[in-house]
Amino acid sequence: MSVVVLGSANLDVVIALQRIPSPGETVLTDTISRGCGGKGANQAVAVARSGAPTTFLGAVGNDDAGRMLLDGLAGAGADVSAVRRTDGSSGTAYVMVDAQGENAIVVIGGANAGYTDLTEAEADIIRRADVLLMQFEVPIETVTAAASIARAAGVQVMLNAAPYAELPADLLENLDLLIVNEHEAALSAGTQGTPEEVATVILGSVPGVLITLGAAGSLLATRGTEPVRINAPHVTAVDTTGAGDTFSGAYAAATVEGLPAVERLRFASAAAALAVQERGAVDAIPDRARIDEALR
């Protein structure tokens, strides 16, 4: 039982500043760090650390960042043998974080932006999966094509619609589960309301929706069954970057493990609650032993 994660991989360049500069201003700092990131890579690491066999599909550049990203993913246990190494630069995210924890981010698509089609070999990898998990940091045409290949092969298709983009009909029709935070849920539904109300609207166009509610927990609604809502564990959050990615990846892993709905939510919530208690994105994603311990 395996998960294929198709998506972006970015070099994250994190610059810590007293405050984020205004236009025309220069601010000095010497606090800079580099790490693996990108929603696709984050989610692949979360699936792999959750203990499910994981294959990552995407593209990195033919540069040092590309090597670092492949090493980071493989180090977490993901199969990276089908990741493309393209001419040019890897995707890069420049993240400025101020003393209050507010951020401003510039993303350069790099190799991710060039991932515009799928080879027959990549399509075969998708067909052999049990779950296909995707996001919106690679071109939407690729996400749409992958969903259609997966659906035709009976693979469960999960899409974390972040960063938010409108969902075309030919993508919606091939989704099994839409994963969104509260903000993205309201945009998808085109209406505000309680999470239950918003979920009901979304169920008009997809068979399942999972809405994450930050510190307030999460809600899973699927057609024909009662919605399941759980609280998040009470923890002190120090950095919520990547909380949604950890949640999505852990949820996909719990799904291929065959856990019932409420257990899948509990597993994903435990993983995300651990992630928010540490700084960083990939570094903060917990492994299976820590998730199991938190659930005891």
Tell me how far, at minimum, the Cβ of 189 lies from ligand ADP, in Å: 16
Residue number, nearest CB to ligand ADP? 244
Rounded Cα distance, 40 and 36, in Å:
11
Phi-psi label, residue 154: left if phi above 0, alpha if psi -120 to 50, beta otherwise: left
Within 13 A of 113's CA, how many CA atoms are on the CB side? 10
Task: In angstroms, give the least distance from the CB of 209 to ligand ADP.
Answer: 13
Quick one: which H or E segment has residue 179?
strand 177-181
Q: Which of 248, 250, 271, 272 is nearest to 259 (CA)?
A: 250
Active-site residue (options: 176, 245, 283, 287): 245
- Chain contacts with ligand ADP (rule: CB under 6 A): 162, 181, 212-215, 217-218, 232-233, 235, 237, 240, 243-244, 247, 269, 272-273, 276
Q: How far is the CB of 216 from ligand ADP (least distance, A)?
A: 8
Residue 291 token pair: 């998730």
Task: State in angstroms the smallest separation of the CB of 251 from ligand ADP.
Answer: 10
Output 20 or 215, the one with its CB closest to ligand ADP: 215
> What number of other Cβ atoms are within 10 A of residue 58's Cβ?
27
Q: Which are the contacts of 227, defined by CB distance < 8 A and separation ≥ 6?
A: 196, 199, 219, 220, 221
- What is the rounded distance in angstroms from the CA atom of residue 59 to the CA atom of residue 54? 16
Cβ distance to ligand ADP smaller for residue 163 or 168: 163
Q: How far apart are the first and last CA of the chain?
A: 25
Number of H helices, E strands in the chain: 10, 14
Q: Which residue's structure tokens are 């066999």?
A: 53
d(CA 260, CA 166): 30
- DSSP-assigned beta bridge partners for residue 84: 59
Q: Name the residue nearer to ligand ADP (CB basis): 145 or 161.
A: 161
Q: How far is the CB of 117 from ligand ADP (least distance, A)?
A: 28
Q: Tell me the Cα Rg of the chain.
A: 18
Residues 6+ positions from 259 with CB-CB distance below 8 Å: 267
Q: How far is the CB of 237 from ligand ADP (least distance, A)?
A: 4
Query: Is 245 annotated as catalytic?
Result: yes
Task: Please identify, using beta-carbon distances, which residue of 80 and 270 lies nearer to ligand ADP.
Answer: 270
Q: Which is nearer to ligand ADP, 59 or 291 (CB)?
A: 291
Catalytic residues: 245
